[in-house]
Structure 1
Amino acid sequence: MDKVTLEDYDKRNSMRFEEGKQLIGQIISDFPTGIFPIILDVGCGSGNLSRAMARLIPHDTIFGIDSDLGLVTLSENKNSTPETISYVSQDISQPWDQLAPELTRLAGHVDLILSNITLHWVTDIATACKNFEHLLKPGGVFYFNILGIKTIPISPKLQCLPQKRIVSQITEMVSILYRNELEVRRSELFQNRWLYSGEELYSLIPIMYKMCYNLINESEFLKFDEIEQEKVREEIRNGVHAAYVFDLENVEENYVVASGEQFWFRYDSFTM
């Protein structure tokens, strides 16, 4: 992680935190008298959602898990962290025998797993879901939301970016869950928008670029020369801007960089 304070991180992730609060609200609605002794927050980031859960959901222990050691360290050092929260630096998509002992010793004992706007970054969703199945106790529950990655135009001669429609992404995720013996009781797609300042564009958009860069077929990409590779990156950047960033006054028009103080970030997410 680049050097950043928790305040900076939380500012550029305000939408993510709001989505997480809605996920907590859904859990409370589904289990109004529920008690979850052991909770995992997968992709905890700065720990702000872990701390919110500590206030709102009856529990004994919350484990905040993130693959970014820098964020985990910052979260551990935050003065307001309740004593019931512990943080673990871990890529949850690693094979079971490579997970931290703090996690493997929880096998079959976890009451609730929550993952908020995280799983689209996971390199091996199937392995992650298999790990969740190992961790959950009988009757344990798994709540998550995930960004749907929009398709963007790429020149046919530069095509090295496998893309799927949002509906196909949902169908694939449901299939992975069932293959790993995780029953799907809810699957909802939301089309949302979030108001950001023009200044926040410069910290938000590179994250969206990276999300698409991660989809590049590396073997196909390496067949291009340096000029063509940069052209692919440019088309991704332009495509991300066209797909996600819209004018404050006219949501059908793209936001022109530095043209105003605020813009709409339009995104799809699905919750299960």
Structure 2
Amino acid sequence: MNQIIPEDYVTLTHKLDSFHLESINLILNEKSSYDVIIDIGCGDGSVTKMLSTQVPHKQLVAIDVDQGLLKYANTYNNSPTIEYVQQDMTVGWPELCPRLREMDGRVDLVFTSFMLHYCSRDKRQVMAIFRQLLKSDGLFYGNILINQDLNRKLLGKGKERDPKQQWYPSLDKQTDNWLKSLTDNGFMIEKSKLIELNVGMNRKQIIDFMPVVVDCYRCYFPDSQQFDAEVGDHLWDTVFDAFFSPPDAEPNPSAWTKFLADNTITELHYYFHCLRFNCLSSLWAYFRFLIGCMYDNVIEIFHYAIVQNSRYKQKSAQVPSPIINGFGESLKTRPSEFVFPLISSTEIKVGASSDLFRTLAKAVLIMLMVAPESMTARVGTTLTRTAISVSENRPSRSLRRMMNSFVTLIFRFATVYVCQTVIHACEHFPNGCAGCF
């Protein structure tokens, strides 16, 4: 991977200070303090230092693969709570350094900014590592560079869409792939937004930075030979045209060549997109999910739990859609992703069994809705008698009847709620809990 010298890296990072301060404010909106923070891809340490001064914490571990940048960070951006560690994050969990592996399940916040695009080939593996590092109530916050769609420039030259289009994915395709890698690894996305940014760069910075930008596209090619052939053809011109020309400018097939030849061009703007997101690890996300569902739908569920069974005896084949299909139309507009409920262990291959859980939950609901009133009443009576048997005071007959009715109601309510949660979570997280536990 091509690298940029620390001094130029520092200059570019400082141009995004306001953007990173906004990110830190979003983190503080979620929680006022974090005991253990990991900054993935810390670079020169500028953003790490901002985290250390703005976010209350006890320990901050900053990770980067570049030894030169880490040396600079240790010199200019150090503090008593910051620990800089060299680590390549594209390796698997067993290959991580002992310092990171000993933080398994102890991290309150994983933060990363403009690093993950280097891990495009290893999305799922990297996300699984972050998931393993986080506590059950941990937060994952990220800013991911989204590469420009080079097909837009190629098509502008009058070219038809050819096999190269799969090498240059669109902005939407890249965004969807990143968000899917999060949900597939058990994260619940609370917020995500694609942001358009630009920063000014002088001529020397552009020349030093271009190899890094071009190398970001290597991951989209089937092999290095294909990438090298494309670099020799037109890739530098197309990449330069996509990033350093205004988005609405006409394509320039020789943009990079003309820039090198024209020494009067001393500064240009670098145009790029960033996917900003924050998400919760699955256990905490599950409880947030339950609370949200209770708030939004408790009245509706309560209604279906207490209605007369005769309605369902007449329409046993038409069980109300809010019962079978989830929590009703309101949830379709909720921005969050939903996670699979905690009904499995690490030994169960939940991805293959989510259909089974959903089918069983639907069957229980149908049985509950068409069952005779006496059947659920017996359950309520049994539970009431059990409670009375351990009590010293025997209530009156009228009080026992009231208790029977109340316990029966609670039983129906709880059954419907649990089954709906299972059905809805299975439908929104069909891959189950794979990688979450």
Q: Same fold (TM over 0.5)?
A: yes
Partner of 1:197: 202
C-alpha distance after superposition, 1:191-244 (max 9, x if no partner): 12222223321122221111123432217628xxxxxx5554341101111111
Q: 2: CA distance between counterparts of 1:233 and 1:21?
A: 40
**Closer, same or farther: CA 165–36 of 1 in aligned 2, 3 Å:** same
Q: Structure 2 length normalisation: TM-score?
A: 0.54
Question: In the alignment, what sits opposite 1:103?
Answer: 100
- CA deviation vs aligned residue, 1:253-272 (integer Å, no higher than 9, x gap): 67762343321211111111
TM-score normalised to structure 1 length = 0.85
Q: How far did residue 137 of structure 1 move?
A: 0.4
Deviation, 1:184, is: 0.6
More helix per residue: 2
Counting strand residues as a fraction of each chain, which structure ranks higher? 1
Separation (CA, whole Å) in 1 of partners of 2:101 and 2:269: 42
1:25-40 to structure 2, matched below 5 A, reads: 25-31=25-31, 34-40=32-38
Unaligned runs of 5+ in 2: 278-437
- What CA distance in whole angstroms lies between the structure 1 residues aligned with 2:56 and 2:63? 19
Q: Deviations over 1:167-194 (max 9, x none)?
A: 1111111111111111111110111222
Counterpart selection for 2:268 from 252, 255, 263: 263
Q: CA deviation at 1:74?
A: 3.0
Show structure 1 runs of 5+ residues with no match. Answer: 223-228
Mean Cα deviation higher: 163-172 or 55-64: 163-172
Query: What residue number does 2:238 align with?
Result: 239
Cα distance change of structure 1 residues 265 and 168 upon mapping to structure 2, 3 Å threshold: same
Per the alignment, residue 81 of structure 2 pairs with 84
**1:16/1:209 CA distance change after superposition, 3 Å:** farther
Q: Quick one: which of 54, 57, 62 aligns to 1:56? A: 54
Please give the alpha-carbon distance, in whole angstroms, between the structure 2 residues aligned to 1:17 and 1:234: 37
Q: Deviations over 1:99-141 (max 9, x none)?
A: 1111111111100010001100014111110011111001110
Partner of 2:117: 120
- Counterpart code for 1:202: I
Pick which of 200-209 and 132-141 moved more. Answer: 200-209
**How many residue pairs are counted as aligned between the two chains?**
261
Instruction: Please list the CA deviations of residues 126-161 of structure 1 after superposition, one character each: whole Å capped at 9, or x if unmatched.
Output: 111001111100111000011111121467888496
2:235 corresponds to which letter in structure 1?
A: I
Q: CA deviation at 1:93?
A: 2.6
SS of residue paired to 1:185? strand
Give me the whole-angstrom Cα distance separating, in 1, the residues matched to 2:79 and 2:217. 36
Is 2:111–2:141's contact at 8 Å kept on the other side of the alignment? Answer: yes
Structure-1 separation of matches of 2:208 and 2:25: 28
Does the 8 A contact of 2:6 with 2:68 survive in 1?
Answer: no
Q: Aligned partner of 1:140: which letter?
A: G
Q: Secondary structure at the match of 1:9?
A: helix
**Identity %, equivalent residues:** 22
The CA RMSD measured in Å over matched residues stands at 2.8
In the other structure, the counterpart of 2:131 is: 133
